[in-house]
């Protein structure tokens, strides 16, 4: 694909993702995956899972971190060098935040007039369970490889993410510890990374 067209497609893809994302970084993961892994086939599932892990371990919003990394990987996978990879990161990062910036800028002054509006409250109430569903979907697609219902439903465990009993043990421990709201998620991530150095 022509470089300019790839950059434009990268921008448009992440702009659309940013435009229809509600609920923050974790809700955006399933949308990014559906576009760049399944829709465009720019990167593999295994690469995406690695990107998510790194995005969680680095400072900043996880959705933005993921977009930045994906932008770089897309250009690298297309055969371009470091400079174009950096451009891909920049394009994806700008595209993912631009819709939110434009929308918030437009409604910031009007919010005080509408936050008690019945229709506004109804819309927000409907979005909350949808956000929970998106976050849940992001978790499921990192564990199970699920085919499209149009092609005949099938599900199989992604063995690259859970290759042995140690992986399941880490998953179980992290899940149980995360149920305690007093435990910092960053501590869970660093603890898992340290355990991984010894277990793997």
How much is the mean pLDDT over the chain? 81
How far apart CA 42 and CA 80 sit, in angstroms, is 13
How far apart CA 51 and CA 106 sit, in angstroms, is 32
Query: For the whole model, what pTM was predicted?
Result: 0.62
How far apart CA 89 and CA 69 sit, in angstroms, is 6
Give yes or no: residues 123 and 166 share one domain. Answer: no
Give yes or no: residues 182 and 145 share one domain. Answer: no
Give yes or no: residues 52 and 133 share one domain. Answer: yes
Give yes or no: residues 113 and 200 share one domain. Answer: no
Range of the domain at 177: 162-200
Give yes or no: residues 33 and 111 share one domain. Answer: yes
Give yes or no: residues 70 and 137 share one domain. Answer: yes
pLDDT tens-place string over residues 94-128:
999 998 888 888 777 766 777 777 877 777 778 77
How far apart CA 139 and CA 143 sit, in angstroms, is 7
pLDDT tens-place string over residues 37-56:
888 888 888 888 888 888 87
Total structural domains within the chain = 2
Cα–Cα distance list, 74 to 30, 91, 124 (Å): 17, 11, 34
Q: What pLDDT shows up at residue 110?
A: 66
Give yes or no: residues 168 and 98 share one domain. Answer: no
């Amino acid at each position: 694909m022509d470089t300019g067209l790839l950059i434009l497609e990268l921008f448009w893809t992440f702009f659309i993702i940013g435009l229809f994302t509600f609920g923050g970084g974790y809700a955006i993961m399933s949308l990014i995956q559906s576009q760049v892994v399944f829709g465009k086939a720019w990167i593999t599932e295994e690469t995406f899972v690695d990107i998510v892990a790194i995005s969680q371990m680095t400072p900043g919003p996880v959705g933005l971190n993921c977009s930045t990394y994906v932008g770089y990987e897309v250009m690298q996978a297309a055969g371009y060098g470091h400079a174009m990879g950096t451009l891909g990161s920049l394009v994806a990062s700008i595209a993912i935040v631009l819709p939110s910036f434009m929308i918030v800028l437009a409604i910031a002054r009007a919010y005080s007039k509408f936050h008690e509006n019945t229709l506004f409250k109804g819309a927000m109430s409907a979005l909350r369970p949808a956000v929970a569903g998106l976050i849940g979907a992001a978790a499921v697609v990192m564990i199970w490889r699920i085919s499209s219902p149009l092609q005949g439903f099938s599900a199989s465990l992604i063995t690259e993410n859970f290759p042995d009993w140690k992986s399941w043990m880490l998953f179980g421990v992290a899940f149980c510890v995360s149920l305690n709201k007093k435990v910092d998620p960053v501590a869970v991530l660093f603890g898992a990374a340290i355990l991984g150095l010894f277990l793997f």
